[in-house]
């Protein structure tokens, strides 16, 4: 147990109602008759029963991604991250239909896991729609199911080939079968309506990422029993399990409040995503590429970034809460944790961009993906455009060149009269650049890169073009910026998250530009004003100026002239001193002569 952080007081959340309100609502949420422990399913029983969800809720596979048990709901068009237009159901007064898998990565600490499961056994969300999957990350001795646990509860081992919280969670999520996944730490005690509070948002849209509220508390082993926790949660009294002023909140709470509960946070909303208590549709989880098992620490921040680029709307759920039994790593060892995460974030996370301070570098996730169609371009045009992209002030650029590359073969041909000559020259001249990819067709979005720049071949971005476009989008939030060029030609600068969300709300064949304009805004500028120019006779832009070398030369010149000035100033002072001495001698002689004349008279 690390040192305890300084305590902070916080105004109490709205009162949490106990099970009585379920009876008032006609039992729509399937409340339990008393706090008796539910029976769990073993893995064998789980398989024999046909898995989850129970019989009657049919899951149909499609393209390798499981469908939800319900028809796909019409998707709302949320502007930026302003989810205020959504109206979630009042707790206890609605009937859920989505199945949910609570996935818990765990390593040892059986005592805390028992308390976590005891709280989950007393949730107001219908037990027939809720399963719990515990991913055991190689605990010794292995974890076991306690007596008090949810009705549908099983332990699965982490997959081979990795270790750590992220790898265990990824393993558990792959075994999960619910429409929605709730990610929960193995040292969390949820309030009675915690799952219900998060799930009500997921019934409104399939691209919402809900972050659950949590309170960190200094927990001593043996302070609570699973029965005490279950009974307190079941009667709506989880808030009283610990002293009201003896807890810490996550440091992101300040940012949440400053941005109107994230409604005004824009792209920065993904920064607050933490995995201790969070949820999303399984389909969104898969679209975002799943949690990265290689991230031993900070995996939730990295995955939150990818959720954002997949089009997620981030919602902080404060109507319910949970106790985090013990302090987080950043609370007890923040400096070392930050040092460890810095290179991982710089390599993979672009929100905010200041995570990537090193200039002139390329990274795992590019800051901008540029797409250039070279199907009919001359070698000189492609070379000029790529050189302009590679020599700008934004260095973390990936370049995608689209063209019919599969048509190129090594058969005998007229070398200089080859109709595919330019395509061959482009492949040879640019294809081995580590920043360049040659593809037949560009993907729908540049995920996980935050921006895509579509540039026509033969047009050359200036050194500041991409930087100014990024600054414009970060300031105004535009999802699309169109750059008009002469000859009815256009370039485009697109926000990845905007077009990913547009794809979700419009469906196949929908007008994504129109959806982006409605949700994020679109803007048109003159390409020349942003430094985009046609390729000149030399075909390539001038090499970038070595301003550091020039500055050093200017400093050396300045030092030389300063030294010369100091010398001249010294010489001037000497001359002045000599002139003053001569003048004083002359004055003394003249005064002496005048004095003698007066005396003779």
Average model confidence (pLDDT) across the chain? 87
Strands (E) located in 464-573:
480-485, 489-495, 522-526, 533-534
CB 426 within 8 A of CB 403: yes
Q: What is the pLDDT confidence band of residue 496, given thresholds at 50, 70 and 90?
A: very high
Q: Which of 147, 152, 104, 150 is nearest to 124 (CA)?
A: 150
Q: Which of 364, 361, 333, 552 is nearest to 449 (CA)?
A: 364
Buried b (16+ CB within 10 A) or exposed e, 274-288: bbbbbbbbbbbbbbb
The CA-atom distances, in angstroms, between 195 and each of 76, 96, 192 are: 22, 11, 8
Beta-sheet pairing, 368-373 with 451-454: parallel
Angle at which helices 299-309 and 165-175 cross, to 10°: 50
CB-hemisphere CA count at 13 Å for 56? 6
Q: What is the pLDDT confidence band of residue 301, given thresholds at 50, 70 and 90?
A: very high
Residue 46 pLDDT: 46
Environment class of 110 (CB within 10 Å of its CB; exposed 0-12, middle 13-18, buried 19+): middle
Residue 579 pLDDT: 86
CB 253 within 8 A of CB 176: no
Tokens 């000859």 appear where?
Answer: 487
Q: In CATH, which of 3.30.420.40, 3.90.550.10, 3.40.50.720, 3.90.420.10 is domain 368-534? A: 3.90.550.10
Rounded to whole angstroms, the Cα distance separating 310 from 289 reads 9
The CA-atom distances, in angstroms, between 388 and each of 167, 319, 398, 425, 481 are: 41, 51, 13, 18, 19
Q: How many CB atoms lie within 10 A of CB 378?
A: 17
CB 560 within 8 A of CB 517: no
Q: Which of 443, 453, 448, 445 is nearest to 502 (CA)?
A: 445
Q: Where are the domains of the chain?
A: 20-52+62-348, 368-534, 547-601
Which residues on neighbouring strands pair with residue 312, listed in sequence order? none
Mean pLDDT of 115-127: 98
Rounded to whole angstroms, the Cα distance separating 102 from 118 reads 13
Domain 20-52+62-348 has CATH 3.90.550.10: yes
Rounded to whole angstroms, the Cα distance separating 295 from 339 reads 14
Buried b (16+ CB within 10 A) or exposed e, 561-588: eeeeeeeeeeeeeeeeeeeeeeeeeeee
| pLDDT above 90 for 328 | no
Cα of 219 vs its chain's centroid, Å = 31
What tens digit of pLDDT does each residue of 51-66 get?
555 444 333 322 222 3
Q: In terms of residues, how long is the chain? A: 601
What tens digit of pLDDT does each residue of 516-538 get?
999 999 999 999 999 999 998 65
| pLDDT above 60 for 21 | no
Mean pLDDT of 328-339: 90
Residue 541 pLDDT: 52
Instruction: Indicate the helix (H) or strand (E) that contains 402.
Output: strand 397-402
Q: How many CB atoms lie within 10 A of CB 290?
A: 15
3 state SS of 305: helix
| pLDDT above 80 for 206 | yes
Rounded to whole angstroms, the Cα distance separating 392 from 464 reads 6
Residue 61 phi, psi (nearest 5)? -75, 150
Mean pLDDT of 540-560: 75
DSSP 168-230: HHHHHHHH--SSEEEEE-TTEEE-TTHHHHHHHHHTT-SSEEEEE--EEE---TTSS-HHHHH
Rounded to whole angstroms, the Cα distance separating 539 from 129 reads 63
Residue 544 pLDDT: 56
Residue 45 pLDDT: 45
Rounded to whole angstroms, the Cα distance separating 291 from 168 reads 10
Q: Which of 272, 269, 278, 270 is nearest to 251 (CA)?
A: 272
Say if 20-52+62-348 and 368-534 have the same CATH topology: yes
What 8-state DSSP symbol labels residue 60? -
Start-to-end CA distance of the chain, whole Å, equals 109
Percent of the chain surpassing pLDDT 70:
86
3 state SS of 408: coil
Angle at which helices 379-390 and 421-430 cross, to 10°: 20
Q: What is the pLDDT confidence band of residue 72, given thresholds at 50, 70 and 90?
A: low
| pLDDT above 50 for 211 | yes
Residue 354 pLDDT: 82
Both tokens of residue 281? 């549709």
Strands across the sheet containing 397-402: 436-439, 397-402, 368-373, 451-454, 489-495, 480-485, 522-526
Q: What is the pLDDT confidence band of residue 47, given thresholds at 50, 70 and 90?
A: very low
| pLDDT above 90 for 79 | yes
Q: What is the pLDDT confidence band of residue 167, given thresholds at 50, 70 and 90?
A: very high
Strands (E) located in 455-573:
459-460, 480-485, 489-495, 522-526, 533-534
Mean pLDDT of 61-80: 58
Which residues on neighbouring strands pair with residue 453, listed in sequence order? 370, 493
Considering just the CA atoms, what is the radius of gyration of the chain in Å?
Answer: 34
Q: Which of 205, 201, 197, 181 is nearest to 519 (CA)?
A: 205
Q: What is the pLDDT confidence band of residue 588, given thresholds at 50, 70 and 90?
A: confident
| pLDDT above 80 for 1 | no
Least confident of 240-249, 284-293, 359-368: 240-249
Q: Which of 3, 14, 40 is nearest to 120 (CA)?
A: 40
3 state SS of 489: strand
| pLDDT above 70 for 281 | yes
């Amino acid at each position: 147990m690390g040192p305890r952080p300084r305590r902070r007081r916080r105004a109490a959340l709205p009162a949490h109602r106990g099970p009585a309100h379920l009876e008032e609502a006609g039992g729509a949420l399937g409340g339990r008759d008393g706090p008796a422990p539910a029976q769990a399913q073993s893995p064998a029983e789980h398989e024999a029963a046909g898995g989850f969800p129970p019989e009657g809720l049919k899951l149909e596979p499609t393209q390798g991604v499981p469908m939800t048990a319900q028809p796909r709901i019409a998707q709302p068009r949320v502007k930026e991250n302003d989810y205020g237009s959504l109206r979630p159901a009042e707790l206890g007064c609605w009937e859920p239909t989505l199945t949910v898998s609570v996935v818990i990565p765990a390593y040892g600490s059986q005592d805390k896991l028992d308390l976590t499961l005891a709280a989950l056994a007393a949730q107001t969300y219908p037990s027939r729609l809720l399963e719990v999957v515990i991913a055991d990350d190689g605990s010794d001795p292995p974890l076991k199911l306690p007596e008090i646990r949810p009705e549908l509860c099983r332990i699965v081992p982490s997959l081979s080939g990795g270790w750590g919280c992220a790898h265990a969670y990824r393993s558990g999520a792959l075994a999960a079968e619910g429409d929605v996944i709730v990610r929960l730490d193995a040292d969390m005690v949820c309030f009675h309506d915690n799952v219900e509070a998060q799930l009500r948002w997921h019934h409104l849209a399939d691209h919402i990422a809900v972050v659950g509220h949590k309170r960190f508390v200094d927990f001593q082993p043996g302070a609570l029993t699973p029965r005490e926790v279950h009974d307190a949660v079941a009667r709506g009294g989880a808030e009283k399990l610990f002293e009201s002023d003896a807890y810490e909140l996550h440091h992101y709470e300040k940012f949440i409040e400053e941005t109107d509960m994230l409604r005004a946070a824009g792209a920065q909303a993904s920064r607050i995503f933490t995995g201790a208590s969070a949820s999303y549709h399984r389909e969104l989880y898969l679209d975002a590429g799943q949690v990265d098992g290689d991230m031993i620490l900070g995996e939730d921040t990295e995955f939150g970034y990818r959720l954002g680029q997949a089009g997620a709307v981030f919602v902080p759920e404060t109507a319910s809460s949970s106790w985090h039994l013990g302090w987080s790593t950043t609370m007890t060892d923040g400096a070392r944790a930050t040092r460890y995460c810095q290179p991982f974030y710089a390599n993979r996370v672009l929100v905010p961009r200041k995570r990537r301070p090193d200039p002139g570098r390329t990274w795992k996730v590019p800051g901008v993906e540029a797409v250039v169609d070279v199907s009919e371009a001359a070698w000189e045009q492609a070379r000029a455009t790529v050189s302009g992209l590679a020599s700008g002030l934004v260095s973390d650029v990936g370049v995608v060149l689209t063209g019919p590359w599969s048509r190129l073969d090594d058969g005998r041909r007229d070398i200089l009269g080859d109709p595919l000559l330019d395509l061959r020259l482009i492949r040879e001249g640019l294809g081995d650049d580590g920043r360049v990819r040659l593809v037949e067709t560009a993907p729908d979005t540049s995920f996980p890169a935050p921006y895509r720049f579509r540039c026509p071949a033969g047009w050359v971005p200036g050194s500041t073009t991409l930087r100014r476009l990024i600054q414009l989008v970060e300031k105004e939030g535009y999802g699309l910026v169109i750059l008009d060029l002469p000859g009815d030609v256009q370039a485009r600068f697109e926000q990845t998250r905007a077009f990913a969300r547009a794809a979700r709300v419009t469906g196949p064949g929908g007008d994504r530009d129109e959806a982006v304009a409605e949700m994020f805004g679109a803007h048109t500028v003159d390409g020349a004003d942003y430094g985009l120019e046609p390729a000149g006779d030399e075909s390539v832009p001038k090499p970038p100026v070595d301003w550091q070398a020039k500055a050093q030369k200017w400093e050396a010149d300045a030092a030389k002239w300063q030294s010369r000035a100091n010398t001249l100033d010294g010489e001037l002072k000497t001359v002045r001193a000599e002139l003053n001495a001569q003048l004083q001698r002359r004055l003394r002689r003249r005064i002496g002569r005048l004095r003698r004349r007066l005396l003779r008279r």
